[in-house]
């Protein structure tokens, strides 16, 4: 063991909690302090835009652990308190209430915060979606909303659009890019996502941004688009991406770029590691990377804690995410972006289920399944092993028209 005696974890969600659990599992017996800005015990975010929004789960089901498992961590919990500053040389974290916490090991796991529009958030009926409280407020709003505009067609916006339709709202999904989720899935699959939403009655307004939100008597009533049109709305969800929650690290001397910049072992400074959505690290195969997905938060929380204990190894996961929209589950491994080559290797989009590979520079770089989870798992090794494109399963490179 490393002589670690006093560890502070800032941000107690998927990444921070996993790091804390890993420390204890690996035999760390020193003091453990968990600092979380939210008042809630650790909970899971993916259900917020799915089961919680739909109302099929009560809020208690999103808890990441039972209370007895949390108690077994033998940690000091400082919830509802945000870290406000870090002094790397003195090895102290300052909380927003002024309290100073010394550490010899620090895990930074503060995640991301949703981006806002430049104007309009003061209006009633305008929502963001990141926390449990956000999700409950959004659900409440959706239950009485007739017309809903969702600004931003990334995975959050697209998931929320599908639930809003299920709840009976009239939904418009707006994005300046050519198709929903095109950045995550590439043009071909994004074209299918457009079709999926259109089939379910969503008006997909792509290639146009938002000029401003329109309000009357303090309530949102519509959205002015860049193309000059006005879309009426009594609820607007702004889902235009997020930014790493690093405001509290300004002046700390930590390298901050797109998040906390770490080396391959998730190390940002002596005694300081970062994990989850906030961490940008050097992936041995993929270069500098920051991943905003749930499985990565857990895997990197483990990796970062092992580094703190002196047993770290380069963190080299195969990135993975999933999204649920209507009756479709999409799962993706590796790099499934636009510039990659693409071919369907099982099923067919017309059948509502298929699996596909993405290639770049002559190798397989990604795999995706659309309602074919077993195939996704079967294709993962091609991604993990960077199999040459011509040795990978053959299939149809043009199964759908591009978006
Ligand atoms: C609605 C929603 C749906 C999602 N669905 C999916 C999905 O289907 N599939 C998927 O792969 N991923 C999904 N994700 C992404 C996934 O939830 C995240 O990747 C994951 O939560 C990241 O975990 P984290 O611990 O790094 O950060 P977070 O979960 O963001 O936790 C960070 C915590 O740190 C706290 N914090 C921030 N600043 C401070 C501070 N200064 N001091 C103290 N505490 C602080 C925050 O309050 C927060 O509790 C979804 C995310 C959201 C919001």
Q: Which CATH superfamily is domain 6-113+243-308 in?
A: FAD/NAD(P)-binding domain (3.50.50.60)
Q: Read off the DSSP letter of residue 307.
A: H
For 116-240, CATH gives 3.50.50.60
State whether the beta carbon of 16 lies less than 6 angstroms from ligand 1.
yes
Which of 129, 89, 136, 107 is CA-nearest to residue 14?
A: 107
Provide the pLDDT for residue 131.
97
- Flag whether pLDDT at 2 surpasses 90: no
Which ligand 1 atom minimizes the distance to the CA of 134? 1
Q: How confident is the model at residue 394 (pLDDT cuts 50, 70, 90)?
A: confident
First vs last C-alpha separation in the chain: 54
In a mutational test of the pocket of ligand 1, which residue from 293, 325, 373 has the highest number of ligand atoms less than 8 Å from its CB? 293
Q: For ligand 1, say whether the CB of 343 is within 6 Å of any of its atoms.
A: no
**Which helix H or strand E contains 381, and what residues bound it?**
helix 373-384
Residue 337, pLDDT score: 85
Q: How far is the CA of 108 from the centre of ligand 1 (A)?
A: 13
- Both tokens of residue 259? 């998040």
Identify the residue whose tokens are 């909303």.
Answer: 145
Alpha-carbon gap, residue 116 to 63, rounded angstroms:
27
Query: For residue 349, which of 330, 323, 377, 324 has the smallest C-alpha distance?
Result: 330
From 12, 22, 46, the mutation candidate for ligand 1 (largest count of ligand atoms within 8 A of CB) is 46
Do 107 and 305 meet the contact criterion of CB atoms below 8 Å apart?
yes
Q: Whose CA is nearest to atom 27 of ligand 1?
A: 111
Lowest-confidence pick of 1-5, 214-218, 226-230, 313-317? 1-5
If one residue of 277, 280, 325, 332 were mutated to test the ligand 1 pocket, choosing by the most ligand atoms within 8 A of its CB, it would be 277
CA angle 212, 214, 215 (to 5 degrees): 140
3-state secondary structure of 252: coil
pLDDT of 313 strictly over 80: yes
Of 199-213, 220-234, 307-321, 334-348, the range with the lowest mean pLDDT is 334-348
Query: Which tens digit of pLDDT belongs to each residue from 16-46?
Result: 999 999 999 999 999 999 999 999 999 999 9
Residue 47: other Cβ atoms inside 10 A? 19
Please give the mean pLDDT across all residues of the chain. 95
The pLDDT of 392-403, averaged and rounded, is 68
Q: Residues 80-106: pLDDT tens digits?
A: 999 999 999 999 999 999 999 999 999
Distance between CA atoms of residues 17 and 35, nearest Å: 10
Fill in the DSSP letter of residue 187: H
* Per-residue pLDDT band at 400 (split at 50, 70, 90): low
Could you tell me the strand order of the sheet in which 105-108 lies?
76-79, 31-36, 6-10, 105-108, 272-274, 267-269
Domain with CATH 3.30.390.30 in the chain: 327-391
Ligand 1 pocket, residue 111 CB under 6 Å? yes
CB 42 near ligand 1, within 6 Å: no
Distances (CA, A) of 141 to 45, 47, 55, 122, 214: 19, 18, 13, 15, 17
Domain 327-391 is classified in which CATH homologous superfamily? FAD/NAD-linked reductase, C-terminal dimerisation domain (3.30.390.30)
Task: Look at strands 353-360 and 363-370 and give their pairing.
Answer: antiparallel
- Are 24 and 74 a contacting pair, CB within 8 Å? yes
pLDDT of 237 > 60? The answer is yes
CB 148 within 8 A of CB 308: no
What pLDDT is stored for residue 398 in this prediction?
A: 65
Among the atoms of ligand 1, which is closest to the Cα of residue 275? 26
CATH 3.50.50.60 maps onto the chain at 6-113+243-308, 116-240
CA dist., res. 279 & res. 289, Å (int): 8
* Residue 403 pLDDT greater than 50, yes or no: no
Which pLDDT belongs to residue 402?
A: 45
- Residue 78 pLDDT > 60: yes
pLDDT tens track for 273-305: 999 999 999 999 989 999 999 999 999 999 999
């Amino acid at each position: 063991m490393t002589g670690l005696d006093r560890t502070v974890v800032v941000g107690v969600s998927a990444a921070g909690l996993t790091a804390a659990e890993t420390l204890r599992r690996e035999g760390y017996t020193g003091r453990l302090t968990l600092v979380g800005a939210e008042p809630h015990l650790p909970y899971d975010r993916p259900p917020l835009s799915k089961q919680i929004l739909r109302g099929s789960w009560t809020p208690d089901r999103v808890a990441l652990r039972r209370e007895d498992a949390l108690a077994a961590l033998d940690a000091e919990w400082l919830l509802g308190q945000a870290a406000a500053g870090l002094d790397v040389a003195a090895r102290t974290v300052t909380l927003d209430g002024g309290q100073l916490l010394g550490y010899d090991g620090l895990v930074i796991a503060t995640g991301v915060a949703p981006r806002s529009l430049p104007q309009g958030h003061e209006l009633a009926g305008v929502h963001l979606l990141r926390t449990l409280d956000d999700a409950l407020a959004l659900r409440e709003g959706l239950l009485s909303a007739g017309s809903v505009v969702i600004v931003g067609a990334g995975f959050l916006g697209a998931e929320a659009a599908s639930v809003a339709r299920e709840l009976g709202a009239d939904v418009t999904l707006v994005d300046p890019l050519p198709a929903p989720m095109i950045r995550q899935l590439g043009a071909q699959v994004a074209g299918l996502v457009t079709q999926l939403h259109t089939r379910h009655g969503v008006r997909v307004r792509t290639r146009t941004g938002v000029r401003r939100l329109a309000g009357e008597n303090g309530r949102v009533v519509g959205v002015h688009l860049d193309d000059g049109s006005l879309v009426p709305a009594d609820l607007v969800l702004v889902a235009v991406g997020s930014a790493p929650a690093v405001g509290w690290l300004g002046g700390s001397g930590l390298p901050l770029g797109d998040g906390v910049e770490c080396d391959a072992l998730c190390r940002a400074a002596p005694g300081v590691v970062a994990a989850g959505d906030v961490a940008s690290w050097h992936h041995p195969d993929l270069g500098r990377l920051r991943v905003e997905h749930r499985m990565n938060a857990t895997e990197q929380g483990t990796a970062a804690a092992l580094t703190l204990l002196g047993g770290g190894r380069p963190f080299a996961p195969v990135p993975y995410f999933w999204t649920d929209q209507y009756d479709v589950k999409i799962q993706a491994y590796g790099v499934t972006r636009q510039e990659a080559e693409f071919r369907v290797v099982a099923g067919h989009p017309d059948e509502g289920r298929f699996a596909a590979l993405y290639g770049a520079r002559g190798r397989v770089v990604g795999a995706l399944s659309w309602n074919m989870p077993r195939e996704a798992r079967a294709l993962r090794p091609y991604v993990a092993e960077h199999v040459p494109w011509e040795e990978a399963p053959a299939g149809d490179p043009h199964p759908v028209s591009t978006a």
